[in-house]
Amino acid sequence: MPLRSLGAICLAACRIVVYGAGAVGLLGFLTMGVVHAAAPGASRLELPLNSVGDVVISSDAVVFCALVPYGRVQAYDGNTGAFLYGWQPRVNGGSFRISLDDAEQIRVAGARSHDVEIYSQRGELVGSESSDAFEPGSSRCSSESNGRTACIERRLSLFPQVVVRRGAEVAAKVEQGLGLWCLGAPFPAFLFVAGALVLRFAGGWLRRSQG
């Protein structure tokens, strides 16, 4: 195959990758903005499980994860790892913490809020308290009365994971599929955009070298 034809094929392939990667990355960032403006209340919309700030587990084995980039709490089945539902607490953007109270309601404290909002496990707002309860940090593990423990085992990696154990035995893993992984923001969406720019410049260099 002539060198010029091979170069043209490589250039066309680069363009496909550039536009595809750039579109996926931008869609990931766009998802963040759309979700922050979502209506209150629980929904079946599942978002990427990345940058998990906190994890708590209830006595009936429902795992709640705080997804900081999306300002969202998502619930998973602690027996199977399956996604159940999620909702947008009113945290005014920024980081936030979640915890369970004695009634097993979800308490949400935002870094930019002076209130602790209290939600039912179905994402319904049931009350609030005036408090500066937010403390930087996160809860990597949470235990419940029946002996299950949910732990964030991969927090800021490209492949986040929450593992539920019963004693030493792994009861379930909360993971995500490839489609959701691609849309994760800020990572790997940022990597897709950066990779698209690098390939764009590489394609331009290849085209000039052929000319």
Res 90: pLDDT: 83
Residue 22 CB: number of other CB atoms within 10 A? Answer: 18
Res 145: pLDDT: 73
Q: Find, among 54, 51, 57, the residue nearest to 65 by Cα.
A: 54
- CATH 2.40.10.500 assigned to domain 41-183? The reply is yes
Q: In the chain, where are the structural domains located?
A: 3-34+189-210, 41-183
> What is the residue-wise DSSP string for 83-95?
EEEEE-----SS-
pTM equals 0.75
> Do 26 and 193 contact (CB within 8 A), yes or no?
yes
Measured distance CA(161)–CA(155) in Å, rounded: 7
Over its length of 211 residues, how does the chain's per-residue pLDDT go in tens digits? Answer: 454 566 566 667 666 665 666 666 666 666 666 565 555 677 888 888 877 888 999 999 999 999 888 888 999 999 999 999 999 898 777 788 899 999 999 999 887 777 889 999 999 999 988 776 656 556 688 888 788 999 988 655 567 789 999 988 999 998 877 777 766 766 666 666 666 677 667 666 666 666 5
Res 25: pLDDT: 61
Residue written as token pair 């599929």 = 177
Res 37: pLDDT: 55
Q: How far is CA 15 from CA 127, 190, 203, in A?
A: 52, 18, 7
